[in-house]
Amino acid sequence: MTDRSPAPAAGIEVLVVDDTPASLELLDGLLSRAGYIVRAAQDARMALRSARARAPDLILLDVRMPGMDGYELCRRLKADAATRDVPVIFLSALRETGDMVKGFALGAVDYIAKPFQADEVLARVRTHVELYRLQTRLEESVEARTRQLRQSEAELRDSQERLRELTGFLQTVREDERTSIARELHDELGQALTALRIDLGWLRRQCGGLGETVRTRADAAYALVERTIDSLRRISEGLRPGMLDVLGLCAALEHLATQFTERSGIACDFSADRDEYPLGPGASIAVFRLVQEALTNVARHAGAGRVTVRLDAADSGLRLTIADDGRGFDAAAPRKGFGLLGMNERVAALGGQLDIDGSAGTRIVVTLPLEKGENA
């Protein structure tokens, strides 16, 4: 009994290519009754023009035709981007395995031998149309998802860029605020404490005849002011190293290394391959802060006995290397500290690269473009 079930979806077009009018008429009637829209072509060239004008949902293709045969037509259809995905089913009286293999090699999805059974034709057409429609919907879904992912990636990149700009702005604001506070501490509080120290020194000299107790209290007050001035100087230098502005980056880092050794008891050696580098003030303070933050991490977490800080000019850039002989860290373990995050943001803002190795002690290598620094 002939399968007269409706087509799997409305508006499905089948291009039937056969040079035999009787076969063409038979297939037209069979598919039309099943609900398909049939486009008929009696030769390969007519079929090629029809398929290129509007791609059908499936092509039933006879093999033996005068002029261009079915194999050649299939090859041309598969070579054209507009028709390469349309499923092709060969219809042929050729039953040799080699003929079928050739058809499949050219891209056909199925091969129906003549004389054919109506139920078989309808079943195979329906199956491959459904597969084609599913494939088309899947490709459309993938394409839509890909567009969404690309849009999301673009939005993420835009957000990251804005975040990086905001981070750079916040760092600039923070450095400006630190500079302002350091200046006020030095110019106002520092001068007041210096004046107080001078007056206390004069009082110490005048109270020699007032007894041991008075002299002891005066000496203690003078020593307290001295310690306060030292603390103020240390805090001011931490906020904004004045040596960086006056003597440059190398001198400031050498002084920082010396202070670190004195305060932590961890030996810190600084070296550089030149006296100064063509860095702008923004890049110079960024490099100083990188070293400052790295040394803070060494003192808090490394358990190190020695740390080295090295500056080198390399490949039109500046390479900063900070290495310690401490316990290192597991590279696979998540790092949650804000110190490394701040270092990453500083380096990224300058267009540089940060590499950290914790396999044997901790080794931090920062590479910065000098051209970027000149404009910082």
Per-residue pLDDT of the chain (376 residues), as tens digits, is 444 444 444 688 999 999 889 989 999 999 999 999 999 999 999 999 999 999 999 999 998 888 899 999 999 999 999 999 999 999 887 766 777 888 889 989 998 888 888 998 999 999 999 998 888 888 888 989 999 999 888 888 888 777 766 666 666 666 667 667 766 666 677 778 788 888 777 877 777 667 777 778 888 888 888 888 878 777 766 666 666 666 778 888 888 888 889 888 999 999 988 888 777 767 788 888 888 888 888 888 888 889 999 988 877 788 888 988 888 776 565 555 555 666 777 777 777 888 888 888 888 888 888 754 343 3
Per the CB < 8 A criterion, the answer to whether 137 and 62 are in contact is: no
User: The whole model's pTM is what?
Assistant: 0.47
> Which pLDDT belongs to residue 374?
41
> Which pLDDT belongs to residue 187?
64
> Which pLDDT belongs to residue 49?
93
- For domain 13-116, the CATH superfamily is Response regulator (3.40.50.2300)
Q: Do you know the residue count of the chain?
A: 376
Task: Give the Cα separation of 312 and 321 in Å (integer).
Answer: 8
**How many Cβ atoms are within 10 Å of 323's Cβ, its own excluded?**
20
The CA distances from residue 361 to 272, 319, 328, in Å, are: 21, 19, 4
Task: Give the Cα separation of 71 and 102 in Å (integer).
Answer: 8
Write down the domain spans for the chain: 13-116, 241-376
Handedness of CA 328, 333, 336, 338 (dihedral sign): positive
The SS3 assignment for 103 reads helix
List pLDDT tens digits, range 291-344: 888 888 888 888 888 999 998 887 778 888 898 888 877 656 555 555 566 677
Phi, psi dihedral angles at 193 (to 5 degrees): -65, -35
> Which pLDDT belongs to residue 372?
43
In angstroms, how far is CA 360 from the centroid of its own chain? 28
Task: Give the Cα separation of 375 and 64 in Å (integer).
Answer: 74
Task: Give the Cα separation of 183 and 176 in Å (integer).
Answer: 11
- Quote the crossing angle between the two packed helices 249-264 and 281-297, to the nearest 10°: 20
In angstroms, how far is CA 174 from the centroid of its own chain? 27
Task: Give the Cα separation of 77 and 48 in Å (integer).
Answer: 7
Task: Give the Cα separation of 362 and 353 in Å (integer).
Answer: 17
Q: What is the 3-state secondary structure (H, E, C) of 123-134?
A: HHHHHHHHHHHH
Task: Identify the architecture of domain 241-376 in CATH.
Answer: 2-Layer Sandwich (3.30)
Rounded (5°) CA angle 47-50-51: 85
> Which pLDDT belongs to residue 29?
92
Per the CB < 8 A criterion, the answer to whether 313 and 273 are in contact is: yes
Per the CB < 8 A criterion, the answer to whether 122 and 58 are in contact is: no
Per the CB < 8 A criterion, the answer to whether 92 and 110 are in contact is: no
> Which pLDDT belongs to residue 40?
92
Tell me the pairing of strands 306-314 and 317-324: antiparallel
The CA distances from residue 170 to 2, 127, 235, in Å, are: 78, 63, 21
The CA distances from residue 167 to 162, 341, 349, 361, in Å, are: 8, 11, 8, 30
Q: What is the 3-state secondary structure (H, E, C) of 21-52?
A: HHHHHHHHHHHHHCCCEEEEECCHHHHHHHHH
- Quote the crossing angle between the two packed helices 212-239 and 191-206, to the nearest 10°: 160
Task: Check residue 210 and report its DSSP letter.
Answer: G
Q: What H or E segment, with its residue span, contains residue 323?
A: strand 317-324
Phi, psi dihedral angles at 255 (to 5 degrees): -65, -40
